[in-house]
A and B are shown apart, each in its own frame.
Chain A
Amino acid sequence: MYNKSQKYKQVMYPRVYVTGIGIISATGNGTEETLDSFFNLRTGIGKLSLFRSTHAGIPVAEVKYNNTILAGHAGIYEHVNTFTRNTLLALVASEQAVNNSGWTDTQEKHTGMVWATTVGGMDFNEQYYRSLLESDQHKDIIGTLDSADCTEKVAARFNIRHQVTTISTACSSSANAIMLGARLIRTNRLQRVLVGGSDSLTRFTLNGFNALEILSPTGCRPFDMNRNGLTIGEGAAALILESEETAEPDRIICELRGYANVNEAFHATASTVDGFGALLAMEKALESARLKPLEISYINAHGTGTEINDLSEGRAIEKLFGNHIPPVSSTKAFTGHTLGAAGAMEAIFSALALKYQILLPGLNFEAQMPELSFKPCLKADPYPLNHVVSNSFGFGGSNTTLILSKA
């Protein structure tokens, strides 16, 4: 077996642990509901009900609460309609994560926050932008339209004033927020950091992806021969990362062991067919974690269900793991592709897999891709897990891999 103590002698940085998680997605509010969906293979994908849209026939993965109910879960009872859906989702997930970690006093540890989003307060843009161009009637919400409003509202809730920032790198955003959070701890700038990401469903993204002709008319089918596109989802995911120097041992869920971000520098929206960027991100993350491919027990793939992503990512996995490909799955058939929240959501799923020693299932799978030698795992079966790879790839060639390990 792999000898931890020997390897770690070379590491000069403190280890980074996950000590709290919080999640809200179409597949459940909180980790219990989420796990229940995985065990019972219950997808969150369904019909659009949040807003009227010309494209309402396209399946989406909605969080099942309207904003009023969501506000209740977020602990907001006044001026509810000045909170974007994005911020409400972020507050719900962050509150769960903070409570889960046993965090009571922000000032007792050097604490920061790194959040991620792709379109931030876009739902309010859609509701109010036209009228704002005509009059100042809704000027109260102007401050909520950008990507930082959500971050500052969450930071204010938990009284975090230092090292607060927002990353926006398309669909890898929150994986990058986790990576930065870990680096802030490793370089001794912080002892504890709230990281994660959120995005709500919007007409803007629905139309954007629709115009790119990459939305699935049936609901996404990652790694299936007949896959026909991605399904947009929404939600928020928050993690508490802590330095080994301050983390309480009984709060540790898993270790954040390695990470890497690379840029494919190939195309604004598509990835290479041979998976160059995906391979490079996984290789560099393994290097950062000081692990070999053989030591990886499971891959939570980006697996959007588009023609090109799954082929590109699948090929990268084959190149890296050769004849020893570990179990692979994409959880996006449960949650949809939650854009700015996706990386953090899947890091949480990886953490849950490690904690409960289970594989995470894929869904909607029928036939293996002829180009690939593997098919996704399909049940939440018990499985011995030591190290998990979680991939997040985004527009602009932004490819990030995180590696989470059993604590």
Chain B
Amino acid sequence: MISPQSTCNATGFPAEVVESVADRLICIEPDYREHINPIQLRRMPRILRMGLASAQICLNRANNVSPDAIIVGTGLGCLDNLEKFLLEVLDHDEHVTSVLPFINSTHNAVAAQIAMLLRNHSYNITYCHRGFSFESALQDALMLIEEKQAKNVLMGGIDECTDDFMKLHGYLGYWKKPLSNLRLLADKSSGTIAGEGSAFFIISSESSPDLPKAVIEGVHTFLAPKPFDENNVAQEIAQFLQKAGTDRQEVDAVILGLNGDAVYDRSYWALRNNYFAGHTEFMYYKHLCGEYYTAGAFALWLGSVVLENQNIPDKTRLTRKSSRPIRYLLLYNHFRNTEHSLILLKNGQF
């Protein structure tokens, strides 16, 4: 996984957390020459580099299994190239000098390039729906396994932050003034800190002794009702847990998508104070990766690390330490209170 933290080569949660004072967190990128052919690398846009390298890292860890499907979720797609080609069309009276940014602006470029790199002819899909992009991709992977169309699915979430995206969404009040990411939740203003990342996973129908042991019990997405109703979130969670054959008493930890926005964080706090009040442990992560459409991918990575190690990293802990083993772990995230998503993980060992 490539993220604003040192996660490229780490197998677990990194020992040191990176602090930045900024309105956006930028990925720590690997030496791409280790992962991608230098000739191809030369003209490759950053998002493709990030996508190909993190997919490659993921496959290497999974003993280079040959995936039966490649699924990518990306809220913004290859936005940088899209902007480039758009401005070329607008500013040069439609006399474009290079068609490459047009080709690379296609939303499915990352998934397609991975397929080409692996010479993989299997199912290949890209989801581009804001805060649902990653979760839709994950659900597709689960469906393929359920339908016995796949045993191993290479699935990822990727988004790149661009200057123009920062500027435009700044007008809408998306971002806070530059601040330390480690003080994200302490800041009481509206807005959040922007982020980006590329995380790939092998979703497999079979467990393997040398792979992480998180079992994905289910994924659920819903658009918030208008006007918003906090009880609706609790209802959705209750139904989701019931379908997965469990209930809130059994959920040992919840990873919340808290992003420091005083307005939009309310539904997370409400959940902690009401529905899950009591014994559940709470975690947060967006101070580490920033807010972006596919931040759920970072949360899934964090969740699998926690389940595997049976340890909540202090820098992600919202509540005090309990000695309770973590069996069920729920991920709850939403993007500006519109696209809400739930992922339920279970430790496969007990």
The chain A residues found within 8 Å of chain B, CB to CB, are 53-55, 118, 122, 125-126, 129-130, 132-133, 136, 139, 142-143, 145-148, 151-152, 155-156, 160-170, 176, 180, 183-184, 186-187, 189, 203-204, 207-208, 211-212, 261-269, 277, 280, 394-398
Contact = CB atoms under 8 A, between A and B. Distances in A.
Contacts of B338: 152
B94 A396 contact: no
B130 A125 contact: no
B86 A129 contact: yes
Interface stretch (B16-24, B101-109, B265-273, B324-332): B101-109
Given A152-B223, A208-B99, A277-B121, A396 B128 contact: no
A163 B140 CA distance: 11
Contacts of B172: 139, 142-143
Interface in B87-113: 87, 89-91, 93-96, 98-99, 102-109, 111-113
B221 A187 contact: no
Given A208-B85, A268-B103, A396-B106, A166 B94 contact: no
B3 interface: no
Interface stretch (B31-39, B162-170, B189-197, B205-213): B162-170
Contact of A147 (B77, B89, B122, B221): B77
14 contacts: A118-B106, A132-B167, A132-B171, A163-B221, A164-B129, A169-B111, A180-B140, A189-B143, A208-B96, A208-B102, A263-B120, A265-B115, A268-B109, A269-B103
Contacts of B7: none
Contacts of A262: 121-124
Given A207-B94, A265-B115, A187 B146 contact: yes
A212 B99 contact: yes
B168 A132 contact: yes
Contact of B70 (A139, A163, A263, A266): A263
A54 B106 contact: no
Given A161-B225, A212-B99, A146 B76 contact: yes
B314 interface: no
Nearest to A127: B90
Contact of A118 (B99, B107, B122, B123): B107
A395 B106 contact: yes
B73 to A, nearest CB: 9
B119 interface: yes
Contacts of B96: 207-208, 211
A341 to B, nearest CB: 15
Task: Among B111, B113, B125, B167, find the residue whose CB has the most chain A CB atoms closer than 10 A.
Answer: B125
B116 interface: yes
B108 A168 contact: yes
Nearest to B116: A265
A207 B313 CA distance: 50
A208 B97 CA distance: 11
B136 interface: yes
Given A262-B121, A265-B116, 14 more contacts: A129-B83, A132-B171, A133-B167, A142-B172, A146-B75, A147-B107, A152-B338, A164-B132, A167-B125, A208-B96, A211-B96, A261-B124, A394-B108, A397-B116
Contacts of A395: 103, 106, 108, 112
A147 B293 CA distance: 13
Interface residues of B, number: 62
Task: Among B107, B115, B118, B127, find the residue whose CB has the most chain A CB atoms closer than 10 A.
Answer: B107
Contacts of B106: 118, 168, 170, 268, 395-396
Nearest to A128: B168
A241 B20 CA distance: 49
Contacts of A53: 94
Contacts of A161: 222-225
Nearest to B174: A142
A161 B125 CA distance: 22
A265 B128 contact: no
Interface of B: 70, 75-77, 83, 85-87, 89-91, 93-96, 98-99, 102-109, 111-113, 115-116, 118-130, 132, 136, 140, 143, 146-147, 164, 167-169, 171-172, 221-226, 338
Task: Among B83, B98, B171, B338, find the residue whose CB has the most chain A CB atoms closer than 10 A.
Answer: B171
Contact of A155 (B146, B168, B223): B223
Contacts of A126: 86, 89-90
Contact of A146 (B83, B113, B121, B130): B130
A133 to B, nearest CB: 7
What 5 A-B pairs come out closest when comparing CB atoms? A396-B112, A208-B102, A168-B107, A211-B99, A54-B94
B205 to A, nearest CB: 15
Given A263-B70, A280-B121, A169 B89 contact: no
B223 to A, nearest CB: 5
A44 B176 CA distance: 49
A265 B89 contact: no
Contacts of B90: 126, 129-130, 203
A280 B115 CA distance: 15
Given A146-B76, A166-B128, A395-B106, A133 B164 contact: yes
Given A263-B70, A265-B120, A203 B94 contact: yes
Nearest to B90: A130
A262 B70 CA distance: 10
B107 A211 contact: no
A262 B68 CA distance: 10
Contacts of B83: 129
Given A142-B169, A142-B172, A55 B94 contact: yes
Contacts of A203: 89-90, 94
B140 A263 contact: no
A54 B338 CA distance: 40
Nearest to B142: A187
Nearest to B112: A396
A129 B87 CA distance: 8
A212 B102 contact: yes
Nearest to A137: B171
Contact of B127 (A160, A162, A165): A165
Contacts of A118: 106-107
A17 B224 CA distance: 29
